């Protein structure tokens, strides 16, 4: 039995997900042994809601294990290899269904075909967004540095300041942000030029982290002015001053300390199980 070709609609669906910035998993059959419905090269798309939205990697024998692995991959951002094998073969290997060994997670094939399928699970997550509010020297340095670390950078600042930033940074003259499927981090680096308006807007938007470039005293004053307008939970979550304490002095050094903190925020969930 030959594997059905992947239809053109499959590629179109992938393109739509990428353009929309939606997370998804690409599951690819990389090896089969004995009789299996799908052969090496078969692919399927699993969306964030757990739905297999395109392609084909076989019937119910593989579906449950693939969907479980896809959910885990979307949660931690890590690819994985799953091997679906008959129970007696797993017994001979000394592993049980659900057990992981040397980078491979094993699952039991309960189908009559009793074949083996190895499937690579590849999460495709949108780039994390870094919104930088303000055009202070720290903001300019941070925008230049963050693009090298896979952040999609958007600057919110007065239009006259556009020329201070890299051309590949998205730019908005307003602090209003559109909804996003991506991780979003916001750094307020106005440094005296509209601090209250920028910080208020930043705290009103859903984000994995909000940081303020300024002293603890200044941040405390702004928190007091925003009390009653912004929830106490959001105000408490504000990180000020922004950045890890590395003794930074120059705008470039401060930008580096902020970027290091953003990476620590990003990687903490992924490293929790290490």
Element (H, E) at 192: none
In order, the DSSP letters of 120-156 are: EEEEE-PPPEEEEE--SHHHHHHHHHHGGGT-EEEEE
Element spanning 272, H or E:
none
The confidence score (pLDDT) of residue 145 equals 93
Domain with CATH 3.40.50.720 in the chain: 129-271
Contact partners, residue 161, CB within 8 Å, separation at least 6: 135
Of 68, 80, 74, the closest CA to residue 125 belongs to 74
Task: State how far the alpha carbon of 46 is from the alpha carbons of 71, 74, 100, 226, 240, in Å.
Answer: 9, 10, 22, 42, 39
pLDDT at position 1:
46
Answer whether the bond into residue 104 is a cis peptide, omega within 30°.
no
Alpha carbon distance 256, 205 (integer Å): 24
- Can you give the pLDDT at residue 167? 82
Low-confidence ranges of the chain (pLDDT < 50): 1, 5, 274
- Which pLDDT value is given to residue 271? 61
d(CA 19, CA 199): 29
**Exposure of 65 by Cβ count < 10 A (0-12 exposed, 13-18 middle, 19+ buried)?**
buried
Query: Residue 231: CA atoms inside 13 Å, Cβ hemisphere, count?
Result: 7
Alpha-carbon gap, residue 163 to 167, rounded angstroms: 8
pTM: 0.67
pLDDT of residue 267: 82
Angle at 188 between CA 193 and CA 211, to 5 degrees: 145
Topology adopted by domain 129-271:
Rossmann fold (3.40.50)
């Amino acid at each position: 039995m030959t594997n059905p070709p992947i239809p053109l609609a499959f590629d179109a669906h992938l393109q739509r997900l990428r353009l929309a910035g939606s997370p998804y998993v690409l599951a690819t059959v990389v090896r089969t042994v004995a009789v299996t419905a799908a052969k090496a090269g078969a692919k399927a798309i699993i969306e964030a809601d757990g739905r297999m939205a395109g392609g084909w990697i076989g019937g119910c024998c593989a579906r449950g294990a693939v969907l479980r692995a896809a959910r885990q991959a979307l949660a931690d951002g890590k690819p994985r290899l799953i091997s679906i094998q008959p129970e007696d073969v797993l017994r001979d290997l000394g592993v049980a269904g659900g057990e992981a060994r040397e980078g491979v997670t094993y699952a039991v094939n309960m189908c009559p075909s009793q074949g083996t399928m190895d499937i690579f699970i590849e999460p495709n997550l949108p780039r994390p967004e870094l919104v930088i509010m303000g055009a202070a020297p720290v903001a300019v340095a941070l925008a230049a540095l963050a693009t090298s670390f896979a952040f999609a950078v958007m600057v919110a600042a007065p239009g006259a300041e556009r020329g201070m930033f890299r051309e590949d940074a998205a730019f908005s003259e307003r602090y209003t942000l559109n909804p996003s499927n991506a991780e979003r981090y916001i750094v307020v680096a106005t440094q005296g030029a509209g601090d209250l308006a920028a910080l208020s807007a930043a705290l009103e938007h859903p984000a994995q982290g909000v940081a303020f470039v300024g002293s603890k005293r200044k941040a405390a004053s702004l928190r007091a002015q925003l009390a009653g307008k912004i929830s106490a939970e959001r105000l408490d979550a504000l990180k000020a001053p922004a950045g890890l304490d590395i003794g930074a002095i120059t705008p470039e050094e401060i930008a580096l300390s902020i970027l290091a903190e953003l990476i620590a925020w990003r990687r903490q969930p992924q490293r929790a199980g290490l």
